[in-house]
Amino acid sequence: MNSLSNAREVLPLNDLKRHTSALAERIHEATARVIRSGWFILGPELEAFEREFAGYCGAAHGVGVANGTEAIELALRAFDIGAGDEVVVAANAGMYSTTALLAVGATPVYADVREHDLTLDPDAVRRAITPQTRAVIATHLYGRLADVATFRALADEHGIAFIEDCAQAHGCSRDGIRAGAWGDAASFSFYPTKNLGACGDAGLVTCRSADVAARLRRLRQYGWAGKYVVVDGPARNSRLDEIQAAILREKLPLLDGWNARRREIAAAYAAVNAGDLRHPDVSGPGYVAHLYVLRSSQRDALRRHLAAHGILADVHYPVLDNEQPRIGRADLSAGLPHSVRAVAEILTLPCFPEMTDAEVAGVCAALRLWQP
């Protein structure tokens, strides 16, 4: 049996030790470079990374911040979105957008996702728009680009902001235009497990307008126009530090290669026909396989089956935002049928660039043995 059942070690969902040890020398050198310089916050490494990453995305501007959640929050603040404003979001994307919306005092309005890729459904968004709507946040879930062209047109038509949440979608594209270049603003997380990850927390906002970029630079640092002079707000202290920026600069040139390997693994999984498995669409540059999420009506049994073969799986995400205890709006789920069904069926398999061919084959073999 070509599975991992006899392997000594369990296959984890991700393995940052492998990822980082392959890069140890570059990371040590980048870290040492910053320590030698004595400049730790808002310095030349961040400036260079902002330029390089925005350039990679094809976005006009990049503003580094402390993490991906504050990237969403600061993007909202940059458009003056707050109390009394509505923002349309998906409910199945891990609570990050909702957290940012709660922080600024705006109201999340949940719209359903599309059955086939679990990203926000433009028709559902259109129905959710009211005179109070100020923005739509589309999360490129699992590394699959949402329907960006339609959201771009919809936002222009209604005079609202289109914000992309690109935390899971570094490098994915449509018509040659990458995630981060479609929205009025786009948030990125460089949490260590992301396709491009730091050795700690980090985030960034890309945007189209120089004014919005200037505003983001003020809002990420107390609202300062210059030292100690507060002209903007409500602001935050939310900065991407020099060590993380230097590490991210070392890693950025490797991102496309990692994404290619992720896609290769995803394609191998998607070729397995077994039981009631429903695979994601892994085709094209609009997918960078951040998480490989398949579906089964017997999800929990499938998870146990994989565990019995030494393969760890997880659920992203097990609770819809509106059903979170803090939100307490389970009643809204009746209007989100695709989101509700997906929560019961989704399962995330290991999919990271450092997986060996034998491990990938082992996962495929275990999937082939699946009988619901």
Ligand X SMILES: Cc1ncc(COP(=O)(O)O)c(C=O)c1O
Residues of this chain that bind ligand X (CB under 6 A) = 67-69, 93-94, 96, 139, 165, 167-168, 189, 191, 201, 203
CB-nearer residue toward ligand X: 118 or 313:
118
Number of residue whose CB is nearest ligand X: 68
Closest CA to 90 of 43, 128, 33: 128
For residues 141 and 93, the answer to whether their CB atoms sit within 8 Å is: yes
Q: Which two tokens stand for residue 262?
A: 């992720």
Distant-in-sequence, close-in-space partners of 174: CB < 8 Å, separation ≥ 6: 145, 148, 149, 182, 285, 286
Report long-range pairs for 147-153 (Cβ below 8 Å, ≥24 apart): 147/114, 147/119, 147/120, 147/122, 148/174, 148/177, 148/179, 148/182, 148/183, 149/174, 149/175, 149/182, 150/122, 151/120, 151/122, 151/125, 151/182, 151/183, 152/182, 152/183
CA distance 13 to 291: 9
Look at strands 346-349 and 292-295 and give their pairing. antiparallel
- Helix 357-368 vs helix 255-270: crossing angle, to nearest 10: 30
Give the type of residue at 47. E
E strand or H helix at 92, and its extent?
Answer: none
Smallest distance from the beta carbon of 93 to ligand X, in angstroms? 5
CA distance 62 to 204: 7
- Helix 96-104 vs helix 68-78: crossing angle, to nearest 10: 40
